[in-house]
Structure 1
Amino acid sequence: MSDQLIIFDTTLRDGEQSPGASMTKDEKVRIGLALERLNVDVIEAGFAAASPGDFDAIAAVASAVKNSRICSLARAVESDIEQAGAAIASAEAGRIHTFIATSPIHMQHKLRMQPDQVVERAVQAVNQARNLCDDVEFSCEDAGRSEIDFLARIIEAAIDAGARTINIPDTVGYAIPDAFAEMISQLLVKVPNADKAVFSVHCHNDLGLAVANSLAAVRAGARQVECTINGLGERAGNAALEEIVMAVRTRQDLFKIDSQINTQHIVPASRLVSSITGFPVQPNKAIVGANAFAHESGIHQDGVLKHRETYEIMAAEDVGWSTNKMVLGKHSGRNAFNTRMEELGHHFANKDDLDEAFAKFKDLADRKHEIFDEDLQSLISQVELSPQEERIRLLDLQVHCNLGKDPRHASVVLDVDGQRQVEMAEGDGPVDACFKAIEAIVQSKASLLLYSVNALTGGTDSQGEVTVRLEKAGRIVNGQGADPDIVVASALAYIKAVNLLNSNAKANPQETV
C-alpha cells in the first residue's frame, strides 16, 4: 500500500458549484496556479461538457499549470468524455474523471436504468476515456448509499476496463466515519483486482463529517482524498484540503502516510479563493480562520509564551500565516508592488496590466494609510468584464442620513451604455436607498439573495469588501466591490452583479459527484 496520500483538489469544479461561486477563466487560472504552488497532485479544473466557458477554462488551466495533473469531470456519456479529453489535451499530465450513479435510489429514479445497464455504461465510459487519456478515474456516484456487492461488481469491471483510480463519493454527506471506513475496508477485500487501482474518497459535509469521513477512509486504506480549499462546495461543502493535510501531517503517529503539499502556501491559497468567490472564511475556521492561532485566555497566553506546544499543535508559520507581514503604502514603488503581487500568486501578463493595477493601488493608498495583503488580493480579485459586458458604471453617489430621521436618501449617477442617468431613492438605510436608486435605473428585476460585508483588515480605515448575490430566472451571480466607504463598495458590488447577469449565462452541469 502506497505511503503517499494523493491530494485531488476540486475547488475549480465542485467548489464552483456553490451557488454564486462561479469563476471566470482568468480567476480559475489564478487559483490553478495557487494550487500548483501548493503542490496539489491532481487539479479537477471543471466539467468540460457543462458549457463552452467551462471547457475554455479547463483548457486555460491545462496550458498554464505544468506541475500538477489536470482533470476534467465527465458523465458516463460519450459526448461528455470527448469534450473532457479535448479540454485537457494541452496538459503536461491529464486525467479524465467519469462517473455514474450506483445507489438504488439514483439508478431507479434518476437514471431509470437496471444495474446491468449501469455496469455496461460504466465499462463503455472507461474504455472510451482510456482511449483518449492514459489516466482514468471512475466514480460511483452516491456510493455512500450503494449496496456493497454491487459496488464491488462495478468497480471490478471499471478496473478491468482501464480505470486506475476508483473514487467512492459520499455524494449526499450521509456517511458516518466508522461505517464509511468499513465500506472502504470491505471493498479492498471484495474487489479481486483492487491492487491495480488507487482508492479515493470524495466526502460532502451535510452532517459536518466530510473531513472525519475522509480521514477514516484514509486509515482504512484510501490513498486519494478529493477536497477543496476552505471546504468550498455545493450545499454544506466538501472536505477542506487544509484540514485533511494538516490532520495527517500533525498526527503521523496514526497516519503512516503524508501528502506532498507545501503547507506554507495554504493561507495565501485560502485568501485567494475567498476573495474570488466572495465566500468569507469564518474567524474560527480550522487552520485558515483569523482566530485559528489566536490566544485570548491568560492561561493559554502564558503557556504559549513559555512553550508554544502547550496550546498549539502546529506552528502558524507552517501553514503560511507569516506571509501577511508586508505593508505597502502610497510611497511604495512599482517594483515593490509587483514583487508582492507575485508572492501572492498574481503574475501580470504585460506592462499595461501592471500599470493599470498599480494605478488602482496608488488610488487606494491615497485614501488608506496602510495597504495589507488582503487589500491587494481584493484589488486584483474583482471580476474583470469586457467593455461590452460592463454596460453599467458608477459615476457618482451621494447619501443622506440623519439619526432618528426616516427615510434615508441616496442619489446615484450611472453610465448605462454610454448614457448618463441619475436617480434618487429612499430606503431604510443608505445601502437600501442606494440599491433602490440603482435598480430604478437598471431595471434588472433580480432577487437579492445575499448581502455580505467583510472588513478586510483591522482599523477604521479598513476597506469594506461587499458581496452581493443576485438571482434571476435561475441564474445566480456574485458581484464584489471594495472601498473604504462601505456604501460605495455596496454600490460597486450591486452594479458588478447586474453586469454579470447581463453577460452570457453559464450552463449548469446536470449531474455531480
Structure 2
Amino acid sequence: MSSKSVPTARRLRVFDSTLRDGEQAPGNAMNPDQKLELALAIEATGVDTIEAGFPSSSPRDFEATRLIAGALTTAKVATLNRAVRADIELAAEAGGVERHQVQIMATGSDVHLEHKRGLTRAEGLHEIIDSIRFARELGFTDITLGIEDASRGSDDLLRPMIEAGIEEGASTVALADTTGCLIPAEFGAQVARVRSWIPDHIILSTHCHQDLGLSLANALAGVEAGADEVQATIAGIGERAGNTPLEELAAVLLYKGEQLGLTSRLRTEKFYEAYQLLARIIGMSTPRNKAIFGENAFATQAGIHQAGMLRNPVTYEYVEPHSFGRERGILIGRHSGRNVVRNLFDQMGIGAERDLLDEIYETYIAGRADGTCIELGELREIIAERLARTTEMAVAS
C-alpha cells in the first residue's frame, strides 16, 4: 500500500516595523524609553525581527536602537539605513553587528532616481555595491537590500540591482510597494519574477502600503508567489494610510495557515496587550470597525445576529475573540429584538412573563433612537432589580 507524503508547512518570517515606519507617520512619535517598552511587548507576540528605527535620522532613534538591541532576547533587532557609509557606521555603533539586521535602502524606480535622488541608474547601483561591501567590512552578516518603490521599478532596473546586492553579501531582499499602487495580481507576479532570479537561500520579504486598502492582500499574494517574510505594523500604522496590519496577518495565519501551507511563531493572545500599549503611548483612538482591534470587532447589536450568537457564537463569529485577548460583546440597542430579552429570561429562570418582557423591551431597548447601547450584563441587572422590586411589593401587600 502506497502512502502519500504530507507536504511540510513553510514557516513565514514576520518583521515588525511599528517602531520605524509606524512611528515616522504624523502623530505617532515615541521617545526611546517608550519604544523599548513597546519593543518588549511586540517581542512577546512572537515576531522574528523588530525594526528599532533609523539611527542616523535623530539621536532619539540612535538611543532607541541601542536600548532595544540590548534588551531583545528572542527577536532580532533591525535598522533602516540609506546606502551611505555614515548611516551604516552609526547603525553598527547603536546596535552592534550581532543579531542585527542592517537594512540598506536602494532606490528601486526611475521615478525616484530622477525626481527624488537625481541619480543615474549606474550611480544608484554603485552606492548599493559600496554600502553592502562596507557593511560586511564592519562585521554585519545579516544584510537586507531594501528596495524602495520596487513596485514601480522595471525588471531591467531591479534585476541587476538585486543580483549585485546578493553578490556583495545581502542575505535578504525586501520589495517595497512604497506608494501602495499595486493590486495583488501585479504584486504577486513581481514577487514571482524576483524569486526566480535569486537563490533559494536568499530571503525574499514584502513591505506593502495601504493606499488602495490592499496591503494585506498584496502581502499574501507575495507570500503565495514565494516571499518568505512579511513586514507589518501593529494596527497597520505607518506612512499615509499605513502598512500591512500585523494583527490581521496573524489572524489569516491562525485561521488559514493550514490552507496556505504556512506556519509562524506568532502568539496571537499577546496582540491586544501590545496594541493597547501602542494606543496609549501615541494617543491613538480605536475605530469602531477595525478588524481584530476595533471596538465592534467582537460585538453585535443586530437582533438577528444576536439570536444566533446567544445559541452558539459560531453562527456569526469566525475569528474567536479570546484568540486575540478580546471578549465577546452583546450590545443591546434599537436594532436588538425581543429575543435577547427572552434569552435572558430563560437564563434567569423567569419563565414566560410577557408583560414584563414587553415592559423591559419598550423601556430599555426600543426607545434608543440615538443609537446608544447597553451591555448584556447591564440589562441582566436591570431585569434582576425589576424582579426584586416586584417581589418586595408582593410581600408588602
Distance 1:2 1:81, change over 3 A: farther
The answer on 1:39 being equivalent to 2:23 is no
2:236 corresponds to which residue? Answer: 231
CA–CA separation in structure 1 for the residues paired with 2:165 and 2:308: 54
1:220-369 correspondence runs (5 A): 220-321=225-326
1:177 aligns with 2:184: yes
Please list, as runs of the form range in 1=range in 2, the aligned pairs for 1:7-22 lying within 5 A after superposition: 7-22=14-29
Matched residue, 2:34? 27
| 1:163 aligns with one of 167, 170, 175 | 170
| Structure number with higher helix proportion | 2
Shift of 1:53: 1.5
Find the counterpart in structure 2 of residue 496 from structure 1.
none
Are the structure 2 counterparts of residues 310 and 253 from structure 1 closer, same or farther at C-alpha, using a change threshold of 3 Å?
farther
Alignment match, 1:82: 89
SS at match of 2:300: coil
1:107 and 2:113 correspond: yes
Letter in 1 for 2:126: E
Q: Give the C-alpha shift of residue 303 in structure 1.
A: 2.1
Deviation at 1:254, TM superposition (A): 3.5
Aligned amino acid, residue 111 of structure 2: I
Code of the residue aligned with 2:179 in structure 1: it is: V
1:119 alignment partner in structure 2: 125
Find the residue that maps to 1:38 and give its secondary structure.
coil
Residues 371-386 of structure 1 aligned to structure 2 (within 5 Å)? none
Structure 1 residue matching 2:11: 3-state secondary structure = coil
Residues of 1 paired with 2:130 and 2:244: CA distance? 30
CA displacement at 1:302 relative to structure 2: 2.4
Query: In the alignment, is the contact (CA less than 8 A) between 2:321 and 2:328 conserved in 1?
Result: no
State which drifts further: 315-324 or 303-312.
Answer: 315-324
Distance 2:60 2:24 in 1: 14
With over 3 angstroms needed to count, the CA separation of the structure-2 counterparts of 1:254 and 1:33, relative to structure 1, is same
The whole-number CA distance in structure 2 between the counterparts of 1:238 and 1:269 is 17
Unaligned runs of at least 5 residues, structure 2: 1-7, 330-374, 376-397
Amino acid at match of 1:48: P
The residue that corresponds to 1:211 in the other structure is: 216
8 A contact 1:4–1:259 mirrored in 2 = yes
* Structure 2 Cα separation of the partners of residues 209 and 260 of structure 1: 24
The alignment status of 1:198 with 2:199, answered yes or no, reads no
State the one-letter code of the partner of 2:13.
I
Is the 1:156–1:194 contact (alpha carbons within 8 Å) kept by the matching residues of 2? no
What is aligned with 2:366? none
**Higher share in strand:** 1
Q: TM-score, normalised by structure 1?
A: 0.61
Secondary structure in structure 2 of the residue aligned to 1:252: helix
- What SS does structure 2 have at the residue aligned with 1:44? strand
Q: Using the alignment, how far apart are the partners of 2:224 and 2:19 within structure 1?
A: 27
Once the 2 structures are TM-superposed, how far is the Cα of residue 196 of structure 1 from its aligned partner?
2.9
| 8 Å Cα contact 2:9/2:263 also seen in 1 | no
Distance in 1 between the 2:303 and 2:98 partners? 52
Deviations 1:57-102 (A, max 9, x none): 110111122111001110000100111111111x862110111212
C-alpha displacement at 1:250, in angstroms? 1.1
Aligned residue identity for 2:51: E
Asked whether 1:146 is paired with 2:153, we answer: yes
Residue pair 1:88, 1:95 contacting (<8 A) in 2 also? no
Aligned residue runs from structure 1 range 473-512, under 5 A: none
- The one-letter amino acid paired with 1:319 is F
Q: 1:221 Cα deviation (Å)?
A: 1.0
Question: Secondary structure at 1:140's aligned position in 2?
Answer: strand
Distance in 2 between residues matched to 1:124 and 1:315, nearest whole Å? 50
Q: Aligned partners of 1:221 and 1:29: how far apart in 2? A: 33
Q: Kindly state the Cα deviation for residue 133 of structure 1 after the two structures are TM-superposed.
A: 1.4
Aligned residue for 1:160, secondary structure, equals helix
Q: For residues 303 and 152 of structure 1, what CA distance do their matches in structure 2 show?
A: 54
Structure with larger RCO (C-alpha < 8 A, sep 6+)? 2
Supply the AA of the counterpart residue of 2:136. R
How big is the shift at 1:253? 4.8
Provide the C-alpha distance between the structure 2 equivalents of 1:44 and 1:319, rounded to a whole number of angstroms: 23
RMSD (Å), alpha carbons: 1.9
Map 1:455-470 to 2 at 5 A: none
Q: Could you give the per-residue CA deviations for residues 169-194 of structure 1, whole angstroms, max 9, x where no partner exists?
A: 001111111111011111112x1x33
Q: 2:102 aligns with which of 96, 107, 120?
A: 96
Runs of 4+ in 1 over 6 A off after TM superposition: none
- In the superposition, relative to structure 1, how do residues 196 and 149 fare at CA in structure 2: closer, same or farther (>3 Å)? farther
Give the Cα–Cα distance (whole angstroms) in 1 for the partners of residues 311 and 205 of structure 2.
42
1: CA distance, partners of 2:321 / 2:328: 10
**CA distance 1:164–1:67, shift in 2 (3 Å):** same
Distance across 2 between alignment mates of 1:250 and 1:130: 40
Distance in 1, Cα, partners of 2:75 & 2:241: 27
How far 1:248 moved relative to its partner?
A: 2.3
Aligned letter for 1:141? Answer: E
Q: Deviations over 1:136-169 (max 9, x none)?
A: 1111110010002321221111111111110000
Equivalent-residue separation in structure 1 for 2:301 and 2:314 (angstroms):
16
Show the counterpart of 2:72: 65
Question: How many Å apart are 1:281 and its aligned residue?
Answer: 2.1
Q: SS at 1:153's partner residue?
A: helix
* Conserved? CA contact 1:72–1:87, under 8 Å: no
Between the aligned residues of both structures, percent identity stands at 38
* Deviation of the 1:323 alpha carbon: 12
Count residues with an aligned counterpart: 322
